[in-house]
């Protein structure tokens, strides 16, 4: 059996190979992949907020300034796109998902799934459990710099250990639900569980 922890930090050539899921190749580039236009923000303080609703005691909204005041974490992770490129050791900084929950009204006990809502009506559905991972976050820096527009500026979700399509760029809202509901790529035929180690690329 593989050891996820050991694999993550193994930088030997063989070790790096072990970190590449089946059917993936490693790229040093950072490909840009999404449906639709890249949103442009001129006055991000006024134009961006994060709305939170659904299975929560009270719907809420965080302004950009409030969001930037939250404690941050830095995480280095490997990312795997279903179109078969993987990029190792990408470093991100942002607000841990679990941390964000501490600064909001309580979730209702029924909350079990999350719909990430992004600009232009993009959605991704994620079991709440995936987002309770220590490395799951709302990222706003990549390699020490603010995200570039094409990679999700100002804020994107990062869902570790899943194909990268669940990591919604240009995040604007989180909707908590008691039941699952397919997101944009999931409706298009991508596998709902999206585990790259099990090659869960497409639905049956
Ligand atoms: N808002 C939004 N986020 C998105 C997507 C999208 O179409 N819209 N595509 C996903 C897919 S398929 C991938 S592989 C990653 C790509 O992120 P990158 O462009 O930063 O490499 O973003 C994900 N997040
Ligand atoms: Mo992707």
Residue 12, pLDDT score: 87
Nearest CA to ligand 1 atom 6: 34
Q: Which atom of ligand 1 is nearest to the CA of 120?
A: 1
Domain hosting residue 108, numbered range: 2-198
Whether residue 203 is contained in a domain is answered as no
Residue 3, pLDDT score: 65
Q: Please report, for the domain that includes residue 119, its CATH number.
A: 3.90.420.10
Whether residue 135 is contained in a domain is answered as yes
Give pLDDT tens digits for 52-94.
999 999 999 999 999 999 999 999 999 999 999 999 999 999 9
Ligand 1 and 122: CB distance under 6 A: yes
Whether residue 204 is contained in a domain is answered as no
Tell me, in angstroms, the distance from the centre of ligand 2 to residue 66's CA. Answer: 30
Whether residue 36 is contained in a domain is answered as yes
How far is it, in rounded angstroms, from Cα 45 to Cα 189?
36
- Residue ranges of alpha helices (H) inside the chain are 4-9, 13-18, 44-47, 64-68, 97-102, 128-131, 184-187
Ligand 1 and 32: CB distance under 6 A: yes
Residue 1, pLDDT score: 45
Q: Which atom of ligand 1 is nearest to the CA of 36?
A: 7
**Residues in the chain where the model's pLDDT stays below 70:** 1-4
When divided into structural domains, the chain yields a total of 1
- Residue ranges of alpha helices (H) inside 104-160 are 128-131
Ligand 1 and 116: CB distance under 6 A: no
Q: Which residues contact 49 (CB under 8 A, 6 or more apart)?
A: 61, 62, 63, 64, 172
Whether residue 72 is contained in a domain is answered as yes
Ligand 1 and 142: CB distance under 6 A: no
Whether residue 105 is contained in a domain is answered as yes
Whether residue 34 is contained in a domain is answered as yes
Whether residue 30 is contained in a domain is answered as yes
How far is it, in rounded angstroms, from Cα 62 to Cα 26?
37
Ligand 1 and 27: CB distance under 6 A: no
């Amino acid at each position: 059996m593989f050891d996820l922890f050991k694999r993550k930090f193994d930088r030997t050539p063989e070790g790096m190979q072990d970190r590449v899921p089946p059917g993936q190749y490693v790229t040093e580039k950072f490909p840009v992949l999404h449906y639709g236009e890249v949103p442009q923000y001129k006055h991000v303080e006024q134009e961006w907020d994060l709305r939170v609703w659904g299975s929560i005691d009270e719907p809420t909204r965080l302004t950009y300034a409030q969001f930037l005041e939250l404690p941050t974490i830095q995480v280095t992770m490997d990312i795997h796109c279903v179109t078969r490129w993987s990029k190792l050791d990408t470093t991100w900084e942002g607000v841990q998902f679990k941390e964000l929950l501490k600064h909001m009204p309580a979730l209702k006990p029924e909350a079990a799934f999350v719909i990430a809502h992004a600009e232009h009506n993009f959605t991704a559905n994620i079991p709440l459990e995936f987002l309770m991972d220590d490395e799951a976050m709302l990222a706003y820096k990549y390699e020490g710099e603010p995200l570039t527009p094409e990679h999700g500026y100002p804020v994107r979700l990062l869902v570790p250990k899943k194909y990268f399509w669940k990591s919604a760029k240009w995040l604007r809202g989180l909707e908590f639900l008691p039941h699952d509901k397919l997101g944009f790529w999931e409706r298009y035929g991508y596998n709902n569980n999206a585990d790259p180690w099990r090659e869960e690329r497409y639905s049956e």
